[in-house]
Structure 1
Amino acid sequence: MSTYTRIKGTKDIFGEEVKYWEYIENTAKKLFKIYGYKEIRTPLIEKTELFSRGIGQETDIVQKEMYTFDDKKGRSLTLRPEGTASVARAYIENSLITFGSPQKLFYIGPMYRYEKPQAGRYREFYQIGAEIFGTDHPLADAELITFIYDFFNKLKLNNFKIKINSIGTFKSRGKYKEVLKTYYQPLLPNLCEDCQRRFNTNIMRLLDCKIDVEAAKNAPSILDYLDEESHEHFNNLQKYLKGYNVPYQVDPKIVRGLDYYTKTAFEVEHSDLGEQAVIAGGGRYDDLVEQLEGPKTPGVGFAIGIERVIEALKRENVEVESESKIDVYIAFQGEKGEMAAVTLTKELRKKGINTFLNISKRNLSGQFKHANRLNAKYVVVLGDEEISRDIVTIKNMKSGEQTQIERNWVAEIIVEKLREE
């Protein structure tokens, strides 16, 4: 075995696995177009300060999970652990506010976190994300949650549920944090190591701990401590979700792991995925752009974990067909057949037909076996007999039916056959 192996926590994507990625990404892009979102692509690498300031210095991501290093000039750089901070930076740096508000943006790409690799959790993982900048209207929150609902339905997923919460504003959370500390203080000696650390740095994260679940059950609800503005925002969000016919549950334990969230927070869980049940999450971040030295700009967004969605599709046995199917496999024999095959391949590809030309030194039998492995729909044969008579043989690989037609009519016949399917 070669000493050159992939890094732990990463994976190679090939073969039948690719069809799931195509299916998810293409479905997302089509739906984003319908919803009026524009794609944005940001660098994989950013200044470390962007994340420590944007995500929060005391978060697990910044404290323990970022891939950070110094470049040759001693500048601290980090592989992006999430997408929102980078998009917010791009929004500020490129003055996207001048293009009008709101700005509705989406992205698809890899993120990096140094976590313990396990099922549904990788060190390089891919997200589909969306951000809306420039409006604090709860309709924006509702639109993003509705997008997620529509997206998972288009993927034919069933076993998911949407959970929503409001975590108020930075200012209004002060009193709630005091109440929460009072509740957890006598329980502290029995809490896990992470919860003991978070008690003084990020008390609200104790609510979504996967170890001390029992301790959180009787914790006071943040919904009882919301300021009037946050309360009204949350009520309106629920009203709009009902208007969109999006089913949801209110869960006061949803707090998310990033410090920039305000008011709305939400997650989507899939019941078949165990501990890694969260397949999407997001919320509002009305202060993030200003924290990154931009103009005061409200925002809201989400991220969907592609690897976990793929696992959900597999658990539900959703049939996914490859979008890179081979319509026609061109098989040939002899030098004349070879040149005729090149000409025909060019002609078929011009008509948009997915065409695979044999480019190996296989005999005719080997070419048919290869076409079968590739799941080609049709095989077009150009052998000595066909060349001498100016015809081709077309074989339907599913039915086994073979027909011979004039060479000049191949493209038209193939197009017609594919149209009839």
Structure 2
Amino acid sequence: MSTFTAPKGIPEYFPPESAAFLAVRDTLSDAARRAGYGYIELPLFEDTVLYARGVGESTDVVSKEMYTFADRGGRSVTLRPEGTAGVIRSVIENGLDRGQLPVKLHYGGAFFRYERPQAGRYRQLQQVGVEAIGVDDPALDAEVIAIADEGYRRLGLTGFRIELTSLGDSTCRPAYRAKLQEFLRGLPLDEATRQRAELNPLRVLDDKRPEVRELVADAPLMVDHLSAESKEHYEQVKEHLRALGVAFAENPMMVRGLDYYTKTTFEFVHDGLGAQSGIGGGGRYDGLMAELGGQEFSGVGFGLGVDRTLLACEAEGLTVGDRTRCDVYCVPLGEAAKARLVAAAGGLRRAGVRVDLAYGGKGLKGAMKAADRSGARYALVLGERDLESGAAQLKELTTGEQRSVPLDSLVEVVTEAVAR
């Protein structure tokens, strides 16, 4: 038994199950690529202040969940807990906002939050995200939501719903905040929740405890106090979603876990996951770029949980991803045959065929069992007699059909067979 184990709360994906993980990640990313979003690779860690200012010091992410440490130069750095702040920093630093607008980017990879590990909530979580920066257009909000919707549907998911609301803008949020705080001060809240209400009252509406949810059931709602501009923006987003054929349900009590959201806010929810039902979400952020030292540009984006989406696929009984390791499994019988098949395998791979080979001197029986386990469609067998006759044996593993293939045209014939 190994002396070492993986860190607590960090999922691992390995063959053959890792094929489903890759399929989920790539399908969600592909939906963004088809909408014209270019790829950005972000640093795994950034200056801690970037996240404190960008995400919000009152959020649980910043106050409780970040992996923060001093590097060898004494600088405070943090493993990225989310992607938007890093994207905005990169856009400003590299002058991407001085070109064509909107700046449309997608990204993916690992993010880190110190949370109590449970199904669907990990300390190293995998996400796919998009950001569209520089244009405040309701049609762009609808496009972002539709990209995520399309990605989920291409995986075959049907048991999810989109919850939608508006969190207003700087012209209506202050008055609503004061009204909500006045309401919350009249409730018998515990001291920690009361402090949260003074710092960021919206966080109280997001409290998952049943007793708190009951207390705030009659709280004033942001959607009832929107400015004329925010209300018009919200109505247009809904119109565009209907035109795109994207179904949604309005949830005026919804609050995202990050402080930078304004106007359009949304979450993808899958009830097959129990308490951790959110599989992705996002929204518009009007003031974030200026807060981080850039222009007064708005943006909109999402983060989709790859881990949770994979769990949603499992909950619906979906089989995603190709678990087969190769198309052709080469079975050499003898050293001379191995030398010939090693060269043939290289040629087939260059032709785009996935090929594996029975290494370690396996006998025919053991090598054929390995071929079956690989998921290959064909086994390519070459022994001493085959070398003398100048032809290998190509066996289709599903039907048992076998034929001879001349060695001098091996790559061409096998490539053609795989393509059929």
Moved more, 316-325 or 236-245: 316-325
Q: Distance in 2 between matches of 1:142 and 1:205?
A: 25
Counterpart check, 1:273 vs 2:268: no
Q: CA deviation at 1:53?
A: 0.6
Q: Which residue of 1 aligns with 2:8?
A: 8
Question: 1:200-244 CA deviation, whole Å, 9 max, x = no partner?
Answer: 221111212211332333222211111111111101111111111
Q: CA deviation at 1:394?
A: 1.4
Q: CA deviation at 1:323?
A: 6.6
Q: Which residue of 2 aligns with 1:295?
A: 295
Moved more, 389-398 or 80-89: 389-398
Matched residues, number: 418
Q: Distance in 1 between matches of 2:336 and 2:399?
A: 29
Q: Which residue of 2 aligns with 1:207?
A: 205
Q: How well do the aligned residues superpose, as a CA RMSD in angstroms? A: 1.5
Q: Distance in 1 between matches of 2:47 and 2:339?
A: 55
Moved more, 354-363 or 148-157: 354-363
Q: Distance in 2 between matches of 1:202 and 1:399?
A: 65
Pairwise mapping of residues 155-304 of structure 1 onto structure 2 (< 5 A)? 155-189=155-189, 195-211=193-209, 212-304=212-304
Counterpart check, 1:114 vs 2:114: yes
Q: Which residue of 2 aligns with 1:34?
A: 34
What is the identity, as a one-letter code, of the residue corresponding to 1:202? N
Q: Distance in 2 between matches of 1:188 and 1:199?
A: 12
Pairwise mapping of residues 12-411 of structure 1 onto structure 2 (< 5 A)? 12-189=12-189, 195-211=193-209, 212-322=212-322, 325-411=325-411
Q: CA deviation at 1:116?
A: 0.4
Q: Distance in 2 between matches of 1:276 and 1:335?
A: 55
Q: For the Cα contact (< 8 Å) 2:323–2:375, is it kept in 1?
A: no
Q: Distance in 2 between matches of 1:356 and 1:405?
A: 18
- Show structure 1 runs of 5+ residues with no match: none
Q: CA deviation at 1:411?
A: 2.7
Q: CA deviation at 1:324?
A: 5.8
Q: For the Cα contact (< 8 Å) 1:22–1:323, is it kept in 2?
A: no
Q: Distance in 1 between matches of 2:286 and 2:269?
A: 25
Sequence identity (%) = 39
3-state secondary structure, aligned to 1:105:
strand
Q: Distance in 2 between matches of 1:12 and 1:199?
A: 38
3-state secondary structure, aligned to 2:13:
coil
What is the identity, as a one-letter code, of the residue corresponding to 1:205? R
Q: CA deviation at 1:194?
A: 5.6
Q: Distance in 2 between matches of 1:2 and 1:272?
A: 35
3-state secondary structure, aligned to 1:150:
helix
- Show structure 2 runs of 5+ residues with no match: none
What is the identity, as a one-letter code, of the residue corresponding to 1:173? R
Q: Distance in 2 between matches of 1:253 and 1:363?
A: 65
Question: 1:345-392 CA deviation, whole Å, 9 max, x = no partner?
Answer: 122112111111222221121111111111111111011111111111
Q: CA deviation at 1:198?
A: 1.7
Q: For the Cα contact (< 8 Å) 1:23–1:323, is it kept in 2?
A: no
What is the identity, as a one-letter code, of the residue corresponding to 1:141? D
What is the identity, as a one-letter code, of the residue corresponding to 2:148? I
Distance 1:331 1:172, change over 3 A: same
3-state secondary structure, aligned to 2:310:
helix
What is the TM-score when the length of structure 2 is the normalising length?
A: 0.96
Q: For the Cα contact (< 8 Å) 2:155–2:320, is it kept in 1?
A: no
Q: CA deviation at 1:183?
A: 2.6
Q: Distance in 1 between matches of 2:380 and 2:5?
A: 40
Q: Distance in 2 between matches of 1:161 and 1:111?
A: 24
Q: CA deviation at 1:72?
A: 1.9
Q: For the Cα contact (< 8 Å) 2:268–2:278, is it kept in 1?
A: yes
What is the identity, as a one-letter code, of the residue corresponding to 2:16? E
Q: Distance in 2 between matches of 1:69 and 1:31?
A: 36
Q: Distance in 1 between matches of 2:404 and 2:57?
A: 71
Q: Distance in 1 between matches of 2:337 and 2:195?
A: 73
Q: For the Cα contact (< 8 Å) 1:392–1:405, is it kept in 2?
A: yes
What is the identity, as a one-letter code, of the residue corresponding to 2:344? L
Moved more, 164-173 or 261-270: 164-173
Moved more, 332-341 or 109-118: 332-341
Q: Distance in 2 between matches of 1:98 and 1:10?
A: 39
Q: Distance in 1 between matches of 2:255 and 2:13?
A: 33
Q: For the Cα contact (< 8 Å) 1:269–1:278, is it kept in 2?
A: yes
What is the identity, as a one-letter code, of the residue corresponding to 1:234? Y
Q: Distance in 2 between matches of 1:203 and 1:308?
A: 28
Q: Distance in 2 between matches of 1:233 and 1:330?
A: 61
Question: 1:273-299 CA deviation, whole Å, 9 max, x = no partner?
Answer: 111111111011111010001111111
Moved more, 106-115 or 211-220: 211-220
3-state secondary structure, aligned to 1:170:
coil
3-state secondary structure, aligned to 1:381:
strand
Q: Distance in 1 between matches of 2:348 and 2:342?
A: 10
What is the identity, as a one-letter code, of the residue corresponding to 2:294? G
Distance 1:400 1:321, change over 3 A: farther
Q: For the Cα contact (< 8 Å) 2:39–2:107, is it kept in 1?
A: yes
What is the TM-score when the length of structure 1 is the normalising length?
A: 0.96
Question: 1:100-123 CA deviation, whole Å, 9 max, x = no partner?
Answer: 211000001110000000000000
Q: CA deviation at 1:403?
A: 2.1
